[in-house]
Chains A and B, each alone.
Chain A
């Protein structure tokens, strides 16, 4: 069974940094694109970032470009989201999500339980 477990969320001041982690199990982690999707309180879903199996491609939503980075360690079955220069509007539950093995257009199939990031002074 596929499991994705996020960690690293918390309260941070505007301008601060936070690093989220996600560990996958129950599947061959290195064979899949991995992604982060966020959901602001009471709002809908917003795709944030994605990384290819070999880290050869990374993509971000415009609102986080230059502030967030995504990386992975296939030996640890883990993907990370480094968030810098955080803004109040980055406050959200951040979900780790498994992408496809092949075409990125095929989207997400499994989601983690999410970790809450609160940016506030």
Chain B
């Protein structure tokens, strides 16, 4: 099975400052169709998850442009250019390349200092 490893697991950030979350996979996430099926989700406290980014770098509708995704192969990053109070929550990466099993990272908790 593909293992997804996120770091850090806890990320205290000052409002207005950038934040960066790493997600690494145990195998390359490049599919034979040349696409990379790595997605990012946000889960605010007490809420259901919400997808932010699909296929590495594509922002979902309504997602603020301060969120961006990048990476390739086995190393991926979610960046928040300037953290706002509403960004507090847990962020998960998820791979879909190695089907039939979707696997998630452990989650990274973003909190305000």
Contacts and interface: CB of A to CB of B under 8 A. Distances in A.
B31 interface: yes
B17 interface: no
A44 B104 contact: yes
Given A44-B105, A47-B102, A47-B104, A106 B51 contact: no
A61 to B, nearest CB: 7
A87 B55 CA distance: 35
Nearest to A59: B100
B102 A107 contact: yes
Given A44-B105, A47-B101, A47-B102, A107 B92 contact: no
Interface residues of A, number: 19
A95 B97 CA distance: 22
Contacts of A50: 102
Contacts of A95: 48-49
Interface in A102-118: 104-114
A5 B25 CA distance: 32
B54 interface: yes
Nearest to B60: A109
A46 interface: yes
* Chain A contact surface mostly: mixed
Contacts of B43: 45
Contacts of B48: 95, 111-114
A41 B101 CA distance: 22
Given A104-B96, A107-B39, A107-B102, A45 B49 contact: yes
Contacts of A112: 48
Contact of A109 (B35, B51, B99): B51
A107 B105 contact: no
Interface of A: 44-47, 50, 59, 61, 95, 104-114
Given A59-B100, A61-B101, A108-B102, 15 more contacts: A45-B41, A47-B103, A95-B49, A105-B31, A105-B35, A105-B37, A105-B96, A105-B99, A106-B55, A107-B54, A107-B102, A108-B51, A111-B48, A111-B50, A113-B48
7 contacts: A44-B106, A45-B49, A47-B101, A105-B97, A107-B37, A107-B96, A109-B60
